[in-house]
Amino acid sequence: MTDDFEGLARDLKVAFARGTGEPWTEEVFDAWATRIFAYQFESNAVYGAYSSKRGATPSTVRHWHEVPPVPAAAFKALPLISGDPALVQRVFRTSGTTRGREGRGEHHVLDLDLYRASLVPNMRRHLYGGGASLPLFALVPDPLVASDSSLSFMLGEALATLSDGEGAFFVDEDGQMEREGLRQGLRETTSKEQPVVVAGTAASLVHWLDWMAEVGERFELPPGSRIMDTGGLKGRSRTLSRPDLYRQLSAAHGVPLENIVNEYGMTELLSQYYEVSAPESAGTDLEDRRHVAPPWLRVRVLDPITLEDVPAGQPGLLCHYDLANAGSVMAVLTEDLGFEDAAGLRVLGRVAGAEPRGCSLAMDALLSKGESR
């Protein structure tokens, strides 16, 4: 084996700490990705066999595009661990039904410090203005009561590290929002003229807006305040388009549209994309916005049937290559549609209807009992 996990994770954390500015060159990202693929091929028997059946081995893969991805649905079917399962520090689970592994994906994390090393500098840059310490009001459960939620963990780290412990969580362990506590907290930060970050899923933000309308509440949050939407609206609240959601959030909180941003991530990844605006749009036109990644995360846009790359600017399935996933699987194929251009990634939403053929075939190959390597 060319690497052990501890050494690989240590080197990645150093690289992440040094690499939060300019994007990495193709050569730098490629060297990391092929190194991680070689490690995962050897340390993850299921993934190694799957890669071999697709003709990809450490001796044949010459570029990170050649590293075979696994469908995100595989995290529901298999414990995708690259390393010693006894070293798993946390298991994060996807939202949805609680009926066991069949309904919820599981991401087994070998090193929570590697997750921290990915999420903290990226969030500091995009949500905290590069360094400002702002109180965080999180519309998700506290990680102490939702230990299997990667989003709660992420916001818990932000609260402790980027907000200097100022702020709180306003959803209890039963999923009920503590509205009066949130209202009082926002009133206090407004009276102190202290900018604040309000973060939550789109569904939680809609429920909060509905309650504000019901009780006739409105805020004028101090300049510099921000709202972060993490998605997750469909099927969880009343129907509301994203432009309408953002306009209502802006009007109800006195936060300009350019300070309301979307974070795009998933339980199966340990890195996140943040939405930025085209310079000329001032953040008001959502069509002009793009998601950008930290240097250690890249995306390919693939044909849903062939899984071949589509031309730049054309829509396809999003396939993420996340170096922070060193302890699981680096390359994850989603059922999200989007396109990439010179400005960044535009996420268009989930595939409607049946599972894309490319995802289905990849899943069949992963679960088949054919010859291993």
pLDDT of residue 18: 85
Q: How far apart are alpha carbons 66 and 88 in whole angstroms?
A: 28
E strand or H helix at 34? helix 26-43
- Output the CA–CA distances (angstroms, integers) from residue 129 to 10, 122, 243, 287, in the order listed: 27, 11, 23, 22
What SS3 state is found at 361?
helix
Token pair listed for 294: 């930290």
Res 369: pLDDT: 52
Does this model's pTM top 0.75? My answer is yes
Where on the phi/psi map is residue 164: left (φ > 0), alpha (ψ -120 to 50), or beta? left
Question: How open is the CA angle 267-273-274, to the nearest 5 degrees?
Answer: 125
Q: What does the pLDDT read at residue 370? A: 43
Please, are residues 317 and 351 in contact by the beta-carbon 8 Å criterion? Answer: yes
Q: What is the pLDDT along the chain (373 residues), one digit of tens a residue?
A: 468 999 999 999 999 998 666 789 999 999 999 999 999 999 999 999 999 999 999 999 999 999 999 999 999 999 999 999 999 999 999 986 444 445 799 999 999 999 999 999 999 999 998 677 999 999 999 999 999 999 999 999 999 999 999 999 999 988 899 999 999 999 999 999 999 999 999 999 999 999 999 999 999 999 999 999 998 765 445 678 889 999 999 999 999 999 999 999 999 999 999 998 765 555 567 888 999 999 999 999 999 999 999 999 999 999 999 999 999 999 999 999 999 999 999 999 888 776 787 788 888 888 875 444 4
In sequence order, which residues have a C-beta less than 8 Å from that of residue 47 and are 6 or more positions away? 40, 41, 70, 80, 82, 329
Q: Give dist(CA 327, CA 329) in Å, integer.
A: 7
Q: What H or E segment, with its residue span, contains residue 322?
A: strand 316-322
Secondary structure (3-state) at 228: strand
Counting Cβ atoms within 10 Å, is residue 242 exposed (0-12), middle (13-18) or buried (19+)? middle
Taking the C-alpha atoms of residue 267 and residue 277, their distance in angstroms, rounded to an integer, is 25
Phi/psi region, residue 55 (left: phi>0; alpha: psi -120 to 50; beta: rest), is: left
User: 3-state class of 335 per DSSP?
Assistant: strand
Give residue for tokens 């709180």.
168
**Cα–Cα separations (whole angstroms), residue 262 to 92, 138, 156, 274:** 21, 14, 18, 6
d(CA 257, CA 248): 10
CB–CB of 165/155 below 8 Å? no
Indicate the helix (H) or strand (E) that contains 208.
helix 202-215
Distance CA(33)–CA(66), nearest Å, equals 10
In degrees, rounded to 5, the angle at the alpha carbon of residue 241 between the alpha carbons of residues 239 and 245 is 100
- In our burial notation (b when 16+ CB lie closer than 10 A, e otherwise), range 26-55 reads eeebbebbbbbbbbbbbbbebbbbbbbbee
- Domains parsed from the chain with CATH numbers: 5-82+297-367 (no CATH), 114-292 (3.40.50.12780)
In 3-state terms, what secondary structure has residue 238? Answer: coil
Token couple for 140: 């998700």
pLDDT value at position 65?
97
Q: What CA–CA distance (Å, rounded) separates 225 from 223?
A: 6
Locate 354 and state its tokens.
């049946």
What six digits make up the tokens of 237? 């609240």
By three-state DSSP, how is residue 141 classified? strand
